A and B are shown apart, each in its own frame.
Chain A
Amino acid sequence: MARIRVEQVRHSYVPRPTREADWALKEVDLEWADGGAYALLGPSGCGKTTLLNIVSGLLHPTAGRIRFGDADVTASPPGERNIAQVFQFPVVYDTMTVYDNLAFPLRNRGVPEARIDPRVREIAALLDLEAMLPQRAAGLTADGKQKISLGRGLVRSDVNVIMFDEPLTVIDPHLKWRLRSKLKELHQHIGLTMVYVTHDQTEAMTFADHVVVMHEGTVVQVGTPVELFERPRHTFVGHFIGSPGMNILPCALDNGVARFAGQPIRTANAVARAPAGARTELGVRPEFVRFASAGIPVRVAAVSDAGRHQIVETRHGDTIIRLLVDEAERVPADSAHVSFDAAFTQLYVDGWLAGAGAA
């Protein structure tokens, strides 16, 4: 087991990349500590699967290095990296039994049968697959197959990291939750490094200690779920995480004070001035917007019931401001005023959190 470092990795699927858009990954630096639970979160096409496949060795990066501990594994094939990967669609060897599926990686590595048998049974017990060992793997349900894929990674005692590429895509909703809890439980039980790729924020936030948010081939933020929620480093993170996402409001900057709707807005962070021509915006989550007796004048446009909360859509001019209010709270019928919680209102310059420095 080892710490994993991704150093200045760039990747392009075209042979001679010329334009910025040719790069699927535009320089990524990351470090994953041994035994951590990480999620790679981002929309489709953001490069998260590319990054995962580069770490596992299925793809060779155009530039940059991958290190496991001190060893440079950039040129090593996946079989030598001691990694395990669970794919979006369950991969099982149809003609084999569940037992043979689990034993397959060990047999390929020449492990004697006497050592394979206890190991396979141990892992099967861990995954609740014991009863199915003699069955043909082809006959299992999707979640059973995904467990086998995972089990083939777990049987090897030399595994550095287990990687999951959207492993719950084909699983029924009511089983998703169970399988995810199982993964979490496994992580606590065996302490292996796990990297989980998903576009689903709930999956990422519930699984991982640290979430890596990716957007258009770059890493925009690495942080705990709470950090991502309270202090998004980029408006993309603010908008992508949360339901509904962060309100992003164009604002002016006047001597270090943000002004929106002609009023000064107190923010958690501040800069004296933005570079000429830069875009300045306020970011505030709907959770931190309240109806007030005075403040920014708005018109209530729509109210939707989200169970314990109501999502209220209001407008100030053309700008939409969303609020999340308690189900019991009475929503004003038409005109109202809203105010922002200053501790969770952030100033963004050209998309990045002001004062924190880009990338």
Chain B
Amino acid sequence: MSTRTVNQKAWWLVVPVLVLVGFNAIIPLMTVVNYSVQETFGNNRFFFEGVKWFEMVIHSARFHDALKRQLLFTAIVLAIEVPLGVAVALAMPRRGAWASVCLVLMSMPLLIPWNVVGAIWNIFALPDIGMLGWTLNKAGVDYNFTRQPVAAWATLVAMDVWHWTSLVALLAYAGLSAIPDAYYQAAKIDGASAWAVFRHVQLPKMKHVLTIAVLLRFMDSFMIYTEPFVLTGGGPGNATTLLSIDLVKIALGQFDLGPAGAMSLIYFLIILLLSWMFYRVMTLGEAE
């Protein structure tokens, strides 16, 4: 029989971590919670307001519009980037020098700082001097992203696809590379068509990385701020005012800390809920 000394001294070892996490995560987050239930008129004096700001945000037409824009933007971006990324990954060479060249090229957009991406596309798309804008107008397309909501949206989506399709492609490529040759050989012998190989070999083997890719792209696109801020600033009008842009306007533009706090928390809960739903749907049937 072994004798064990039971005491709780080991908890002290966790204290530094608790202090760090408390300092940089829990306390700042609780500050937001704190703001979301209070009102202030300056002089650092606060009044408790209960759930008033939450009710206000939930019933505000402005929040609804921003949320709709956000959902539309994320839906479009996912619908383009995921299939396109998979297609790019399938087309990339599996071995040899070109494989490395492709990998480096695909990583390039991911290495560019977000505000630089916004600036690049802003200049690129300018109707009078930008290469894209100028060419489109010369080609007879009436295009001005600073004035036309549709043009602003098209540019915004094009920019996001340009910036982030690589991520999906690289993840899908990693998934494809992990498939042993025997699967392709067996499929050949079984007389499988290219579509059947994709449907029954490649797609199932990519499922896990694609789940990660979809979740990452969902969360990132739902929180996108820097690029649209630099490209359109939320305009023309409020046409491209996504949730995060609206939030910053309320919090830092209008300095309405209460409504901004409530909105932050609602925003966070929406992301959490949707991520959970995506995850459940994509891992359906695995828990057998």
CB within 8 Å of B: which residues of A?
53, 56, 58, 77-79, 83-85, 87-89, 91, 93-96, 104-105, 108-109, 136, 139, 149, 152-153
Beyond A93-B200, A96-B200, 7 additional pairs, beta carbon < 8 A: A79-B189, A84-B189, A85-B186, A95-B200, A108-B191, A108-B192, A109-B191
List 24 A–B pairs whose Cβ atoms lie within 8 Å, in order of A's numbering: A53-B185, A58-B189, A77-B188, A78-B189, A85-B185, A85-B186, A87-B185, A87-B186, A89-B180, A89-B182, A91-B180, A91-B182, A91-B183, A93-B201, A94-B204, A95-B200, A96-B200, A105-B189, A105-B190, A108-B191, A108-B193, A108-B196, A152-B186, A152-B190
If over half of A's interface residues share one DSSP class (helix, strand or loop), that class is named, otherwise mixed; here it is: mixed
The digit string for B168-197, where 1 denotes a CB below 8 A from any CB of A, is 000000000000101101101111110010
- Residue of B189, B192, B288 touching A85 (CB-CB under 8 A): B189
Cα–Cα distance between A149 and B186 once the two chains are bound (Å): 9
List, in ascending order, chain B residues with CB within 8 A of A79's CB. Answer: 188-191
Given contacts A108-B190, A108-B191, whether A58 and B185 have CB atoms under 8 Å apart is yes
Chain B residues closer than 8 Å to A53, beta-carbon distance: 185
- Nearest residue (CB) in A for B205 is A94
Considering only CB atoms, which chain B residue lies closest to A109 in the complex?
B191
B189 touches A93 (CB 8 A): no
A104: B residues at CB distance < 8 A: 190, 192, 200
| Closest residue on chain B to residue A53 by CB atoms | B185
Closest to B200 in A: A93
Of chain A, the residue at the smallest CB distance from B204 is: A95
The answer on a CB contact under 8 Å between A58 and B204 is: no
Taking CB atoms, residues of chain A closer than 8 Å to B183 are: 91
Per-position 1/0 for B252-288, Cβ under 8 A of A: 0000000000000000000000000000000000001
- The answer to whether B190 touches A58, judged by C-beta atoms less than 8 angstroms apart, is no
A136 engages B288 (CB within 8 Å):
yes
In the bound assembly, the distance between CA atoms of A104 and B288 in angstroms comes to: 23
Central interface residue in B182, B192, B196, by most chain A CB within 10 Å: B182
Query: Could you say which residues of chain A place their CB within 8 Å of the CB of B180?
Result: 89, 91
* Contact partners of B182 in chain A: CB under 8 A: 87-89, 91
The interface residues of chain A lying within 8 Å CB-to-CB of B192 are 104, 108
**Bound complex: CA of A340 vs CA of B193, how far in Å?**
61
Which residue of B189, B200, B288 is within 8 Å of A56 (Cβ)?
B189
Q: Kindly provide the distance from the CB of A58 to the nearest chain B CB, expressed in whole angstroms.
A: 5
Give A87 to B192 CA distance when docked, in angstroms.
17
CB closest residue in chain A, given B196: A108
Give the distance to chain B from A165, nearest Cβ to Cβ, in Å. 8
Q: Once bound together, how far apart are the Cα atoms of A264 and B191, in whole Å? A: 62
The answer to whether B189 touches A83, judged by C-beta atoms less than 8 angstroms apart, is yes
Shortest distance from the beta carbon of A140 to any chain B beta carbon, whole Å: 12
A83 proximity list for chain B (CB < 8 A): 189
Complex formed: what's the CA distance from A56 to B190 in Å?
A: 12
A96 partner residues in chain B, CB cutoff 8 A:
200
Give the CA-CA distance A109 to B182 in the complex, in Å: 20
Q: Which of B185, B191, B193, B204 contacts A93 (CB 8 A)?
A: B204
**For residue A105, which residues in chain B have a CB less than 8 angstroms away from its CB?**
189-191
CB distance from B208 to the nearest CB of A (A): 11
Identify the closest chain A residue to B207 (Cβ): A95
List chain A residues, Cβ under 8 A from B204: 93-95
Hey, what's the 0/1 contact readout for B114-129 against A, CB within 8 Å counting as 1? 0000000000000000
In the bound complex, what is the Cα–Cα distance between A152 and B196 (angstroms)? 15
Least CB distance from B96 to A in Å reads 12
Q: Which 9 A-B pairs have the closest CB atoms?
A: A108-B191, A87-B182, A91-B186, A105-B190, A79-B191, A95-B204, A93-B200, A78-B188, A78-B189
Give the distance to chain A from B80, nearest Cβ to Cβ, in Å.
Answer: 25
**Contact, CB under 8 Å: A139 / B201:** no
Question: Closest CB-CB distance, B191 to chain A, in whole Å?
Answer: 4
Central interface residue in B186, B189, B204, by most chain A CB within 10 Å: B189
Docked Cα-Cα span, A105 to B288, in Å, equals 26
CB distance from B216 to the nearest CB of A (A): 23
Whole-angstrom CA separation of A3 from B223 in the bound complex: 66
A89 to B186, CA, bound (A): 11
A78 to B189, CA, bound (A): 5
Task: Please measure, in the bound complex, the distance between the C-alpha atom of A85 and the C-alpha atom of B190, giving whole angstroms.
Answer: 9
Please, how many angstroms separate the alpha-carbon atoms of A78 and B190 in the complex?
9
Complex interface: chain B residues within 8 A of A109 (CB) = 191
Query: Which residue of chain B has the shortest Cβ distance to A90 in the bound complex?
Result: B182
Contact among A78, A139, A153 for B185, CB-based, below 8 A: A78
Shortest CB–CB separation between residue B89 and chain A, in angstroms? 19
CB contacts (< 8 Å) of A91 on chain B: these are 180, 182-183, 186
Chain B residues lying within 8 Å of A152, measured Cβ to Cβ, are 186, 190
The residues of B that contact A153 with a CB separation of less than 8 Å are 189
Those of B196-220 within 8 Å (CB) of chain A: 196, 200-201, 204-205
Given that A93-B200, A96-B200, A104-B200 are contacting pairs, would A139 and B189 also be in contact in the complex, using a CB cutoff of 8 Å?
Answer: no
The chain A residue with its CB closest to the CB of B193 is: A108
Cα(A85)–Cα(B187), bound, Å = 10
Query: In the complex, how many angstroms separate the beta carbon of A192 from the nearest chain B beta carbon?
Result: 15
- Interchain CA distance A166-B125 in the complex, whole Å: 60
Nearest-CB residue, chain B, relative to A108: B191
CB-CB under 8 A from A78, the residues of chain B are 185, 188-189
- Interface bits B226-241 vs A (CB < 8 Å: 1, else 0): 0000000000000000
- Give Cα A153 to B204, complex, Å: 22
A-chain residues with CB within 8 Å of residue B188 when the two chains form the complex: 58, 77-79
Query: What residues of chain A lie closer than 8 Å to B196, measured between beta carbons?
Result: 108
The CA of A104 and the CA of B186, in the complex, are separated in Å by 11
| CB closest chain-B residue, reference A79 | B191
Residues of B within 8 A of A85 (CB): 185-186, 189
